[in-house]
Amino acid sequence: MDINSLFNLQGKTAVVTGGSRGIGEMITAAFLANGVKTYITARKAPALIDKASELTDKFGGECIAVPCDLSTNGGIHEFVSELQSKETSLDILINNAGAAWAEPLMEYSESGWDKVMDLNVKSLFFLTQQLTPMLAKNASFENPSKVVNIGSIDGINTAAFESFAYSASKAAVHHLTKVLAARLIKEKIVVNAIAPGPFPSNMLGAAVAHDYSIIAANNPSQRVGTAEDIGGLTVFLCSRAGNYTVGETITCDGGLVARAGHNLSNS
């Protein structure tokens, strides 16, 4: 029951998709600070490599950049092949890579819809599918591997913006989490999801001109999220402390979903 044992991640190996910025960067920082060898992915190679170096310098440990485009099955195959050339097993998968698209209802484009659904839902499923053998290799019921899918409170509440595909995709992530959890527990892999509220990010920042003051004022906690908030919850789910929590979607939003009638949400 010692806290250092309950939350210990030392020596584990993780993948964080979209790990070079926003929530993905925050989770990566939490892993590195706690001894997790972490592979991060993104499409833009120079920025990804620079971020891996920056995070390694700041938090120690090993942060390895693997540039790839996970929005296509070809990109997923390339990433999995690269990972398999470096590792024989995997302990943690954080499905964080995502896209958003907002347009008025009557102008909402098929290309925008497909971009969001392909990356947020389809790629999450197929990456998890292809990494299942690596996740299962060393897993046991006493020490299961972990998958954490990053959803959004926009998949629970009604979003303030006309981001129809984004809200639908995140609701799909939450339900897919339950379906995958029911299947993968048989492989000693525990699957859960986190539904973040507002955190500083390029995605949310673009919608509010990087001024989070109004969003903070409308949050019961009177602020937006921090790296400690999302990092701490992820560490819990990926450690011994989270082994018996299976198939859940946990909000991390300062109380927005709990507050009845609230609809000013985006992450």
What SS3 state is found at 191?
strand
What SS3 state is found at 2?
coil
Angle at 23 between CA 205 and CA 88, to 5 degrees: 145
Question: Shortest CA distance to 66 belongs to which of 40, 91, 84?
Answer: 40
d(CA 267, CA 175) in angstroms, rounded, equals: 18
Question: Shortest CA distance to 122 belongs to which of 146, 138, 98, 94?
Answer: 98
Contact 54, 24 (CB under 8 A): no
d(CA 159, CA 215) in angstroms, rounded, equals: 13
What one-letter code names the amino acid at 200?
P
Task: Let me know if 108 is a catalytic residue.
Answer: no
Query: Among 108, 166, 212, 244, which one carries the catalytic annotation?
Result: 166
d(CA 19, CA 13) in angstroms, rounded, equals: 14
d(CA 168, CA 249) in angstroms, rounded, equals: 15
Residue with tokens 């896209």: 99
Which residues are catalytic, by number?
A: 166
